[in-house]
Amino acid sequence: MSGPFNAVYRLVRRVPHGRVSSYGDIAAMCAEEISPRTVGWAMSASPKDVPWHRIVNRRGRLTIGRRSVALLELQRSLLESEGVEFVHVDQVDMEKHRWTPRRVPQAVRKGRRS
DNA sequence: CGCTTGACAGGTC
DNA sequence: AGACCTGCCAAGC
C-alpha cells in the first residue's frame, strides 16, 4: 500500500492542529517527485483521517470553492475552530500558522536541501 | 487514445 | 498588483 497518494496522506496527517501547510510544501517534502496539482488531487480523494482542511495554497488562500462553496465554508469553519487566524475572509495568516517541521520523516524526505 | 480539467506554483509583463 | 503563460499530472470522457 504505497504510492504518491499515500506518501501525501502520511505527510498531511503530520500537520498539527492549528497549523497549515501548502500544496507546494507537501509536494516538496514528498519522497517521490510529484507536483502540487497531484497533492490537490490527493486531497480531493483523501480518507476521513486526513486533515485536508489544513492544506491551503502558497499564499494562504483557500482555493477550494470553485465548485463547492459549501466545502469552502467547511474548510474555513474547521480552521477557525482550530484558532487559525485570517488576514482576509478566504486567506489564512501563513506567517503565523505555516507548518515548518525541522525534520521530515526519512521515508518521506526527498534528497534536497531547502 | 487524445483532449480537457483542475483543491498549484513560478515566472513574465 | 493582477492578468497571463507554462509546467505539472491523475482522472474523466
Among A85, A81, A79, smallest CA distance to A64 is for A79
In this prediction the pTM is 0.89
Of A94, A82, A62, A103, the C-alpha closest to A17 is: A82
Contact A61, A90 (CB under 8 A): yes
Strand B: which of residues 14-73 in chain A lie with Cβ below 7 A?
22-25, 35-37, 39-41, 43-44, 46, 52-53, 55, 57-59, 63-64, 66-67, 71
* Domains of chain A in sequence order: 4-112 (1.10.10.10)
Is residue A26 scored above 80 in pLDDT?
Answer: yes
Nearest to A55 by CA among A23, A91, A80, A18: A23
Q: What DSSP string describes A85-106?
A: -EEETTEE-HHHHB---S---T
Whether A110 shows a pLDDT value over 70: the answer reads: no
As a rounded value in angstroms, the CA-to-C1' distance for A59 and B13 is 21
**Which is higher by pLDDT, A114 or A30?**
A30
Q: How far apart are alpha carbons A43 and A2 in whole angstroms? A: 16
- Is the model's pLDDT at A105 over the cut of 80? no
Residue A111 has pLDDT above 70, yes or no: no
Q: Is the pLDDT of residue A113 over 90?
A: no
Give A114's pLDDT tier (boundaries 50, 70, 90).
Answer: very low
